Amino acid sequence: MPTLEPQHELLVAELRRRGYQLASIYDWVNGPAPVEAEEILLRHLASAVEPRTVEGIARALTQKGFRAAVPTLLRRFAEIEDNSARWAIANAIVYHGFNRADWPVVLGYVVERRFGIGRQNLVWRLHRIKLPETEAVLLSLIDDPDVDSFAVTALGRCGGREALERLRTVALNGRSRLMQREVPKAIRRLEVRYGAA
């Protein structure tokens, strides 16, 4: 369990006053986190700056019943500086799914390199965003080492013929093992859809 932080102690103290028996927010990470605690969790998520506290809350919210947390999670994704916390926030967002109104926001986030590896889960699920520009965004991420293999995975699910041709030209020497594995898989998937020729 990560080292506890002062804001974490405030969160746990308030939850205990409300009758919840826990030593750490991480007690709820693998469930079940009570839906009745949502208001407290969201309030602390909105104000916490300590990375492990933010990460713990985001992970606790990655469970059924917390879909209303998505707007706060999206806002915090852009505000938090820590990659682990940002990754956990993105994981919670994709667990609950993208609201149609948030599609442009998500597309804007994934092209921001300053968000680093925290974007991986968002990129991985971009095939769920049915906008004309989604494929172009994914193609632009093929050369971004923080998210390249995740973009390829999404392209395998939603890419068109342009994506297939682009993936066939990707040089895999020096790329990550995940990238080396995902490119052929995505090509095969798209070839089934469009033909190998």
Q: What is the pLDDT of residues 29-57, one digit of tens each?
A: 987 999 999 999 999 999 999 999 999 99
Rg (CA), the chain: 19
Residue-level pLDDT at 164 = 97
Tokens for 105? 């926001």
More confident residue, 1 or 24: 24
Residue-level pLDDT at 4 = 61
CA distance 90 to 150: 13
Q: What is the pLDDT of residues 110-150, one digit of tens each?
A: 999 999 999 999 999 999 999 999 999 999 999 999 999 99
**Domain end call among 97, 113, 129:** 97
* Residues 1 and 88 reside in one and the same domain: yes
CA distance 172 to 156: 16
**Domain end call among 63, 97, 131:** 97
Mean pLDDT score, 91-120: 97
* Residues 2 and 88 reside in one and the same domain: yes
* Residues 87 and 7 reside in one and the same domain: yes
SS3 state of residue 141: coil
Mean pLDDT score, 87-106: 96
Tokens for 185? 């898989």
Residue 3 above 80 pLDDT? no
* 150 within 8 A of 134, measured Cβ to Cβ: no
* Residues 1 and 91 reside in one and the same domain: yes
Residue-level pLDDT at 50 = 94
CA distance 126 to 107: 8
* Residues 81 and 119 reside in one and the same domain: no
Give the burial class of 75: count Cβ atoms within 10 A of its Cβ; 0-12 exposed, 13-18 middle, 19 or more buried: middle
CA distance 166 to 194: 14
* Residues 63 and 11 reside in one and the same domain: yes
* Residues 70 and 130 reside in one and the same domain: no
What are the residues whose beta carbons fall under 8 Å from the beta carbon of 90, sequence distance 6 or more? 77, 118, 119, 120, 121, 122
Residue 2 above 70 pLDDT? no
Residue 1 above 50 pLDDT? no
Residue 101 above 60 pLDDT? yes
* Residues 8 and 82 reside in one and the same domain: yes
In total, how many domains does the chain have?
2
Banded model confidence at residue 105, pLDDT cuts 50, 70, 90? very high
Domain encompassing residue 21: 1-97
CA distance 190 to 176: 21
**Domain end call among 46, 73, 97:** 97
Residue 161 above 80 pLDDT? yes
Residue-level pLDDT at 45 = 97
* 151 within 8 A of 144, measured Cβ to Cβ: yes
Residue-level pLDDT at 30 = 83
* Residues 104 and 188 reside in one and the same domain: yes
- Sign for the pseudo-dihedral over CA of 107, 113, 118, 120: positive
Q: How far is CA 91 from CA 58, 77, 95, 96, 172, in A?
A: 8, 11, 6, 9, 27
| pTM, full prediction | 0.93
Mean pLDDT score, 148-170: 97
* Residues 87 and 128 reside in one and the same domain: no
* Residues 84 and 119 reside in one and the same domain: no
